[in-house]
Chains A and B, each alone.
Chain A
Amino acid sequence: MIEAQYVDLSDSLAYVEAAGEGRAVLCLHTAGQSGVQWRHTLSGLSALGYRVIVPDLPGHGRSEPAAGGPIRDLGRYAEWCIELIDELGLDRPYVMGCSIGGKLSLDIATRIPDRLSGVVAMAAQAEAPSPGGVAGLERGLEDASSPSRTDRTYYGTLAVCGRRVPPERVEMISAMHRREDPVVTTSDLIGWFSHDIRDRLERITCPTYLVVGDDDFWLDLDKVRWTGRQIKGSQTLVLEGIGHYPMEEVAGFPAVAHEWLTALAADAARPR
Chain B
Amino acid sequence: MTAAPSTVEAGDMFFEDFRVGQVFHSPPHVITEEALLQFAEVSGDKAPLHVDADYAAGTQFGQRLVHGPYGLARFFGALHDLHIVDQTVIGLLDTNWRYLKPAFVGDSLTFDITITRCRRTSAGDQGVVNRHVLLKREDGTVLQEGTTAFLVMARNSAEPGSDPAALDFCGPQWTKDLAARLDGDAEFGAATRSFDGTIGLQAGTVATSLRIYKGKVLEAAAKSLLGPTFTVQASELVWTQLMTGSRNDFIPRTLRGEFSVVGSGYDYLRLTKALMRIWESGREMAGEML
Which residues of chain A have a CB within 8 Å of any CB of chain B? 145-148, 151-152, 155-156, 159-160, 163, 217
Q: Which residues of B contact A147 (CB under 8 A)?
A: 266, 269-270
A148 contacts B273, C-beta separation under 8 Å: yes
A148-B269, A163-B247 known, 6 other contacts, Cβ within 8 Å: A146-B269, A147-B266, A148-B273, A159-B252, A160-B252, A217-B255
Mask, B257-277, CB within 8 Å of A = 1, is 000000000100111110010
Contact residue among A152, A159, A160, A163 (Cβ-Cβ distance under 8 Å from B269): A152
Q: Which residues of B contact A148 (CB under 8 A)?
A: 269-273
A159 contacts B251, C-beta separation under 8 Å: yes
B271 to chain A, nearest CB (A): 7
B interface: dominant SS: helix
How many residues of chain B get a CB closer than 8 Å to chain A's CBs? 14
Mask, B25-60, CB within 8 Å of A = 1, is 000000000000000000000000000000000000
Q: Is B249 located at the chain interface by the 8 A CB criterion?
A: yes
List 10 A–B pairs whose Cβ atoms lie within 8 Å, in order of A's numbering.
Answer: A146-B269, A147-B266, A148-B271, A151-B273, A152-B269, A152-B272, A155-B251, A159-B248, A159-B252, A160-B252
Report how far A147 CA is from B252 CA in the complex, Å. 19
Report how far A156 CA is from B250 CA in the complex, Å. 10
B252 to chain A, nearest CB (A): 4
Q: Across the interface, name the chain B residue whose C-beta is closest to A153.
A: B272
Q: Which residues of A contact B249 (CB under 8 A)?
A: 159
Q: Within B172-222, which residues are at the interface with A (CB < 8 Å)?
A: none
Report how far A151 CA is from B272 CA in the complex, Å. 7
Report how far A151 CA is from B249 CA in the complex, Å. 16
A153 to chain B, nearest CB (A): 10
Report how far A163 CA is from B249 CA in the complex, Å. 11
Q: Which residues of B contact A146 (CB under 8 A)?
A: 269
Q: Within B46-83, which residues are at the interface with A (CB < 8 Å)?
A: none
Q: Which residues of A contact B273 (CB under 8 A)?
A: 148, 151, 155
A145 contacts B272, C-beta separation under 8 Å: no
A145 contacts B276, C-beta separation under 8 Å: no
- 4 A-B pairs closest in CB distance: A147-B270, A159-B251, A217-B252, A148-B272
